[in-house]
Amino acid sequence: MRPFSLSAALNAAAVTTVSVLVVACQSAPPAPKANSAALPTMERIALGANSCWFKSGDAAFKTYRLAPELNSFSGKPRILVVPRRSPESRPLLVVQAEGHPAKLSAFGPLMDEPVSGRVAADVKRWAAGGTGCS
């Protein structure tokens, strides 16, 4: 049996500590989590929709305009998609959220059109903190 050596034990502890620190420095930090409350979720969705559906000149949304209603006293911030030439008309799409974490819903005549799958995928991506257009 080998005699106990304090300096050998300290050296081993130092090597272990340095190894742990090096590994910790090399791992990527966790991605920041998007705020999941209703208002920040709808803010992200409104920014994504405005950028990808309207400002980009997307043909599927060319005849519509975005009408955000984020400051809602009902606790359900929402965005509306309305006819471009008749913004006071009944919305063709409503996307709203409530609670923390946000419970999303999307409804209206556009959800019965071929573009509905894309709307759902975009909204889910933006709600989760994703960016960009599909």
Backbone angles phi, psi at 67, to 5 degrees: -130, 90
Is there a contact between 110 and 93 (Cβ–Cβ < 8 Å)? yes
Rounded CA-CA distance 69/76 in Å is 9
| Percent residues over pLDDT 90 in the chain | 68
Residue 10 predicted with pLDDT over 70: no
Backbone angles phi, psi at 53, to 5 degrees: -90, -35
Instruction: List pLDDT tens digits, range 73-105.
Output: 888 999 999 999 999 999 999 999 999 999 999
127 pLDDT band (50/70/90 cuts)? very high
Predicted pLDDT at 74: 83
Please give the mean pLDDT across all residues of the chain.
Answer: 84
Instruction: Please report the sign of the dihedral spanned by the C-alpha atoms of residue 79, residue 82, residue 85, residue 88.
Output: negative
Mean pLDDT along residues 50-57: 96
18 pLDDT band (50/70/90 cuts)? very low
Q: What is the 3-state secondary structure (H, E, C) of the chain?
A: CCCCCHHHHHHHHHHHHHHHHHHHHHCCCCCCCCCCCHHHHHHHHHHHHHHHHHHCCCHHHCCEEEEEECCCCCCCCEEEEEECCCCCCCCCEEEEEECCCCEEEEECHHHHCCCHHHHHHHHHHHHCCCCCCC
CB neighbour list of residue 130: distance below 8 Å, 6 or more residues apart: none
Indicate the range of 30-34, 60-64, 79-83 predicted with least confidence.
30-34
